[in-house]
Structure 1
Amino acid sequence: MKDYHYSFILLHGFTMDGKDMDYYKEKIKQIYPNVNIHFIAPNAPQIPLSIYDNEKLNSWYDYYTPNCDKEPEINEEQLIKNRSKIHQLISKEIDYHKNDSERVFLVGMSQGCCMALDSGLTYPKRLGGIIGFKGHIINRTIKDLKEKQKVWVCHGRNDKTIYYQFAKETYNNLKKINPEFYLLTQNVNHSIPSGIINQMKSIQKSFTLT
């Protein structure tokens, strides 16, 4: 691969895989057409999921409760284990960029948004930014926060998978301790394409890549 100027680590949603982030990859390439970006989209491990009768599916961590309107009970050991793996990916990309940590971005959708926020906010160096679609902040992330980061997230008022009011409350808690934060609110649902045009315009405005 030829030299690249930025690294974007893309984290997929619950029961999905890295290929499902291709849509976001292409949209990001469209808003930064003259910037050489390296995209990394790892797969979450296949694990037995308690809320699906222990069926093995891709997930960054197990859910013990299927809550939509408040934080679900999760397996924090799995969260921390996968956080560590993502930290390793971040560190590898920072090494490539000769220790310029602000050339590395995290992007996530749904559970991947939660994971991107967790991994970025618990990383000890300032990154280029964290971009999250339709997720929320996990309480453990606030507890383990290491470095203030530039955060852009979006959420839909019509989201029936992660309710808007719940997500907004978690983001308000983050903003108190991490003020460089922007929430784009739209009248959209939880699907990937929903609201994407305005989302990309907002991201382009928030992050200047040269």
Structure 2
Amino acid sequence: MNTEDGSLKLFPLIDRSILIQNQQDTITNNYWWMGAIYYKVLMQEVNQNKIYTLLGYDEHNRNSTRKVIEILTFNREGQPIFGSPLFVFSNDSIKKPVQARFFLEYKKNINASIKYDDELAMIIYDHLISESNEEKKFETYVPDGDYEAFKWINGKWLHIEKPFDFKLEDGQAPIIKPVTDSKIPVKKPVKKGN
């Protein structure tokens, strides 16, 4: 962590996720860290307090992989706090309790994404389904081509079930006109003799 005087302050991160039972709800410190490789950091400010949202990757176990959305704040003493009840599902068709962090757990060797979209100002992630209808076995979960999202609203990450809710009619093209690169000249084929 950078400090006001420019010096660097380091905190050891001890992965104890295997010992934590309610991982979505538990608020921890650096000695009880969930363990992840973070690939994106977002910063929001609420009442002059900085809240960092971390997007991360976790190998988890031999059967499943996880992506995580983690909240990082610092207490008055400058110590890191992981997790905060900021993931809200109040607009969902099936209500869920507020969570301190969000996990996307899926089958090993499958790609599932969690990305921040600057243009939409949302965290977009793959909607997952069990390929064998075993809802309690996350090692069977795979993306189904649909998406879900979180949007930062009033100091919380509000879950959005269908960020892309447009529907196409049968036979309707998904784009209005062809996508071309106008910088590349298009040559028409030359017909050879009859």
TM-score, scaled to structure 2? 0.25
Q: Which has the higher helix share?
A: 1
Structure 1 or 2, whichever has the larger Rg, is: 2
Q: Which has the higher strand share?
A: 2
Q: Which has the higher contact order (CA 8 A, sep 6+)?
A: 1
